[in-house]
Amino acid sequence: MKKPLFIGSAVAMITPFADSGVDYQTLTELIEFQVKAGTDAIVICATTGEASTMPDEEHIAVIEFAVKTVNKRIPVIAGTGSNDTKHAIKLSQAAEAAGADAILSVTPYYNKATQKGLYEHFKAIAGSIKIPMILYNVPGRTNLNINPETIFALSKIENIIAVKECNLGQVGDVVNLCGEDFAVYSGDDNAIMPLLSLGGKGVISTMANIIPQDAHDMVAKFFAGDIQGAIKLQLQTLELIKALFIEVNPIPVKAAVNLLGFKAGHCRMPLTDLDGDNLALLQKEMKAYGLID
């Protein structure tokens, strides 16, 4: 029987950048902020962490740093996805060597594999490592869906233990096919409660960068039987979530982390910083939530 790596909220962490590269002092502060707030796992160097703009050497260095800083207090999940299977294998093996507890591997983008190609891609990556692997299905970014039947076939591979699912419409099918042994996590902050109600185990969250305790508490309340309390938290986050996705992730959430007083720095090109009316809206919603004055 496969044991979930975590039940609750994992933060899809931003990567703080300075002119010289990664700002490791701020990264330390952000990790400690998450651990103290009750975050159940940390996802490092994934989409929200701008991994696509990080050279491999920097990418692996940040994973190593996160593993050492967390020091086994909670699981560290390393983003190692690529649309090049050999590159994904290389990154995944390096993450395992760095001490990551698991990897998160995104659906190949741009070259648009068939379902057979998706199966072979993820199977090859899983077979190259011994640590657990979480699939990441995000059709909005990749223009490609991992069908429930393909997820089911992949769930039969011993170390493929979960999916971060952004296609809410197929969650029920995935849960029905894969059963309790396979964890399904929400990839959308505004759909945590619907996904949990269908048998999900939690969320890999963008909003947890700024409200980690609420993200954790929402899932904890649900599994403690306080469904109304969990629903209340989900509903109170919705306007903030809209602001956090007013432009493509991670542009708004990185601005939000800066507004909290951390030195998150700028987004790397081709992403640009939040400004103008959109920044004003984010500030308004953060004030309404009580995060800033």
Q: State whether residue 91 is helix, strand or coil.
A: helix
The CA-atom distances, in angstroms, between 44 and each of 52, 93, 155, 271, 287 are 12, 15, 23, 19, 27
In the numeric block, the tokens 């190949």 are attached to 108
* CB distance 37 to 216 below 8 Å: yes
Phi-psi region of 112 (alpha: psi -120 to 50; beta: other; left: phi over 0): left
Q: At which residue do the structure tokens 């007083």 appear?
A: 261
**In 54-88, which positions are buried (b, 16+ CB within 10 angstroms) versus exposed (e)?**
beeebbbbbbbbbbebbeeebbbbbbbbbbebeeb
Based on the number of CB atoms within 10 Å of its own CB, is 290 exposed (0-12), middle (13-18) or buried (19 or more)? exposed
The C-alpha atoms of residue 177 and residue 174 are separated, in whole angstroms, by 5
CA angle 95, 97, 101 (to 5 degrees): 60
Q: Provide the 3-class DSSP secondary structure of residue 6.
A: coil
The beta-strand segments (E) located in the chain are: 8-12, 17-18, 21-22, 41-44, 76-79, 102-106, 133-137, 160-165, 183-186, 202-205
Q: Phi and psi of 267, rounded to 5°?
A: -75, 150
The residues that are catalytic are 136, 164
- Number of residues assigned to the chain: 293
